[in-house]
Structure 1
Amino acid sequence: MYDLGDLAAAGGLYDLRLREVIFETSYVDRAQLVLVDVPAGVRPYTTWSYTSQLGHVSPADFVTTRGARPPVAAHREDGADVLAAVKRADGTPLPVKPHERTRVILEFGPIANPRHAKLILTAWGVYDDFRATQKPPFSAGTVIETQDAQGRWVARRIAGKAAGDAKTWAIDLGGLLPKEPVKLRLTLAHNPSVIDVLDAVALDDSQPITPQITRVAPQTATLSVGGATRVTVSTLSNRISATDERLPRNPEAMMTGRATRLGDVLPLRLKAEDRFVVMVHGDELRLQFRAPPQRAGMTRHAFLRAVVWYQLKNHPFGRLSDTIAPLPFAGMKRYPYAPEAWPYRHDPGYASYLKAWNTRQIKADSGR
């Protein structure tokens, strides 16, 4: 679930362009625009986060906030005051070093409605080779703790992680906190190949409302070659970013195999049925969605709900794959999987999809 903010329609359409610009292949299985309309002064957030390493699928729901507030105090475990680093999402994260984990002790003061409490986090993941610096215990999720009667920290919630570019999501704390001031210890995901860093955190305990949610399927879907861009990778001090340019594709980013043919791909329906739009480095998928009417007095926030698998060419520990195949499938337990685990090996309908749609032969390190 990708937060698109106050994305504006033009000519009655929402127009999105998704471009693959790093060293990977993407398999787009679903694309749906989710429009969330709420009264003025109310802000919706998704509850979706990356939970695959926690063994369950994250809910892709929405919560509403009104006047979410930053902490009144934020300290590292050594006592250093870090409130300025986490009180607003400004792209400057809480400082963390390669041998550390992102951890902060937060205070929000009294909580009027604990049953409605939720944390709003903005964070991103930094992928690198941290084997020499990151030591166990590791965490595949975001851990929220409070202290027991003896002052010991006890985990109250383990939520998903950011995984990739900066994202903002809500974590339900309903019923976990008292009305009286309490300290929370927040620890983000960390292991030898990724450290999540925290840009901002806030708490909201407002009465929830039921937003008006409209889900819109694409009206057009067109695959083309959009070209490369200049990418600034994420680090412990900055999020990933890319220029809006159309540069020659980088041959070293290509992977060998068959990608989806260029042109109209709307017949693939993008409905999460393992009939992918297979995109290689430099490919661009343009999606247009009809803009439904918006009621007076309501503000609209747009989200892109997408099911996208991806195959990295390089892992922080070294080369991972040079090939587009094997294609992923919903419910797989590992990747790459054993050939006999592929559910479509005797499916003539799936064979027809591959023959009709994945006709573009790509060669690794060729730029085409």
Structure 2
Amino acid sequence: MPKIKNLDREFYDNFKSLNIRGYAAPHNLTLNLDDKKGYNGRTLLLLTGWTDYAFSSDNLAASQSGKSLFLPKLQVKNKKGEWQTVIESIGISIGRPQTLVVDLTGEFLSNSREVRIVTNFKTYWDKIEVSTSEQKDVKTIEMQPVQADLRERGFSEEMKYGEMITTNYDRVLNDKRWKYFSGTFTRLGAVNQLLEAIDDVFVISKTGDELVLSFEALPELPKNKKYTFLLFADGYSKEMDINSGSPDQVFPLPFKRMKKYPYAADEQFPMTEEKRRIYDEYTTRPVRDVLPSIELGVK
């Protein structure tokens, strides 16, 4: 398939879009890995693409018409030649292009090396590769940022490639193109303390903010070695869709053990004296976004 051979923003999109954002008719993408037939070692599927996902109002409209999304599942052929699901969810690449790594090692149920991805998400694949390389002499180095600064920046210029919207970081727009949540946000400046652990203590950033991280320089490697960098980030984003939970304000804050958001009356944010002290110190930037009133007149 030419469209999934190169990373060129020519996307495989052989599915029928429905009239609800993020929804497509159920479809599948079949890959023939026959050149790996007889090989039972480490096999990774590398899927690079992006997903045009639904917002709260889209999901509400879908539910009212009896529709629902199901995450991409991976199937292989069993000894009867029938497709059988072996991975219930391979995940989705939200928004901008991302690479999903799917471990196929030990998942094949027969000599067939055909695999099939089945979903009704609108996922656009750009490049798909297979890796059978063995991990040898891999050293993992975990680094904490030496400096983490929260800044007001503005908005990167939007660029469009077909259905995909991406951004040009080098061009900043300072117009007020997005609404703000009303509430109190993290003050600008150093925020290292808020990023040290997964502990329900958040940097609360508003639309147009950026978080700038600095790390210590790593030593130069021999010519036969190279670094691969992975950024680990854990947090939440909140949308202002009218059918989302509390879409007009920052609070309530999410937390790891919540059953849903907004959480019910029998759940509470796990506030402690130490967390309260930190939030009182850092959460001091009030934002009030006053929207113009809409006057409706009948003639």
Shared fold (TM-score, shorter chain, > 0.5): yes
Match of residue 146, structure 1, among 64, 67, 76 = 76
| 8 Å CA contact 2:29, 2:116 repeated in 1 | yes
Task: Tell me the alpha carbon deviations over residues 185-229 of structure 1, each in whole angstroms, 9 at most, x when there is no partner.
Answer: 112462xxxx22222222222233242111110111111110122
Task: Tell me the alpha carbon deviations over residues 283-317 of structure 1, each in whole angstroms, 9 at most, x when there is no partner.
Answer: 111110112214302111111111121111127x6
> In structure 1, what is the equivalent of residue 145 of structure 2?
218
Letter in 1 for 2:136: I
Letter in 2 for 1:215: E
Change (3 A) 1:207 1:267: closer
1:97 aligns with 2:9: no
Cα separation, 1, equivalents of 2:7 and 2:26? 19
Instruction: Please provide the CA RMSD for this pair.
Output: 2.8
- Scaled by the length of structure 2, the TM-score of the pair is 0.81
- The answer to which of 291-300 and 146-155 deviates more is 146-155
Q: Name structure 2 gaps, 5 residues minimum.
A: 19-24, 292-299
Higher RCO (CA < 8 A, seq sep 6+): 1
Cα separation, 2, equivalents of 1:135 and 1:182? 35
Cα separation, 2, equivalents of 1:282 and 1:101? 36
Match of residue 357, structure 1, among 250, 269, 282 = 282
| 8 Å CA contact 1:125, 1:164 repeated in 2 | yes
Cα separation, 2, equivalents of 1:149 and 1:362? 61
| 8 Å CA contact 1:252, 1:364 repeated in 2 | no
**SS of structure 1 residue aligned to 2:35:** coil
| 8 Å CA contact 2:78, 2:110 repeated in 1 | no
Shift of 1:149: 3.9
- Scaled by the length of structure 1, the TM-score of the pair is 0.67
- The answer to which of 195-204 and 118-127 deviates more is 195-204
| 8 Å CA contact 1:92, 1:238 repeated in 2 | no
| 8 Å CA contact 1:228, 1:247 repeated in 2 | yes
Shift of 1:91: 1.4
Shift of 1:97: 3.0
Cα separation, 1, equivalents of 2:184 and 2:229? 33
Change (3 A) 1:248 1:221: same
Count matched residues. 275
Q: How does 1:87-236 map to 2 (within 5 A)?
A: 87-95=5-13, 96-99=15-18, 100-111=25-36, 113-128=39-54, 129=58, 131=61, 138-140=69-71, 142-158=72-88, 159-177=90-108, 180-188=111-119, 190=121, 195-232=122-159
| 8 Å CA contact 2:195, 2:202 repeated in 1 | no
Cα separation, 2, equivalents of 1:103 and 1:306? 31
Change (3 A) 1:145 1:356: same
Cα separation, 1, equivalents of 2:84 and 2:110? 18
Change (3 A) 1:207 1:263: closer
% of aligned pairs identical? 22
| 8 Å CA contact 2:77, 2:112 repeated in 1 | no
Q: Name structure 1 gaps, 5 residues minimum.
A: 1-82
Cα separation, 1, equivalents of 2:86 and 2:148? 43
Letter in 2 for 1:206: S
> In structure 2, what is the equivalent of residue 46 of structure 1?
none
Cα separation, 1, equivalents of 2:175 and 2:196? 26
Larger radius of gyration: 2
Cα separation, 2, equivalents of 1:216 and 1:136? 44
Change (3 A) 1:340 1:148: closer
Cα separation, 1, equivalents of 2:268 and 2:68? 34
Letter in 1 for 2:16: K
Change (3 A) 1:265 1:212: same
Letter in 1 for 2:105: G
Higher share of residues assigned strand? 1
Cα separation, 1, equivalents of 2:27 and 2:125? 7
| 8 Å CA contact 1:253, 1:365 repeated in 2 | no
| 8 Å CA contact 2:178, 2:207 repeated in 1 | no
Match of residue 288, structure 1, among 211, 214, 221 = 214
> In structure 2, what is the equivalent of residue 39 of structure 1?
none
